[in-house]
Amino acid sequence: MEHLSEDRLDAYCLGRLDLAACLDVEAHLMQCTECRRRFLETEELIRCLRAIYRKEGS
């Protein structure tokens, strides 16, 4: 199984993929523990960055 590229995973996490692409990524994440781990790490990083941005914008 080929892993998701960083660009594709980032685009998914940021909501920049169309529905068909999102479904493909989600199906892959259900089967691939390595990509699921990377996804969770990326999601956590995005949450942290958003929290910092909100804090600095206050």
Could you read off the pLDDT of 16-49 as tens digits, one per residue? 999 999 999 999 999 999 999 999 999 999 999 9
The string of DSSP codes covering 40-56 is: HHHHHHHHHHHHHHHHH
pLDDT recorded at residue 25: 98
Domain that holds residue 37: 6-57
Give the predicted TM-score (pTM) of the model.
Answer: 0.84
pLDDT recorded at residue 56: 80
Sign of CA dihedral 32, 33, 36, 37: negative
pLDDT recorded at residue 58: 66
Number of domains in the chain: 1
Q: Is position 32 within any domain?
A: yes
- How is residue 22 written in tokens? 């999102």
Q: Is position 1 within any domain?
A: no
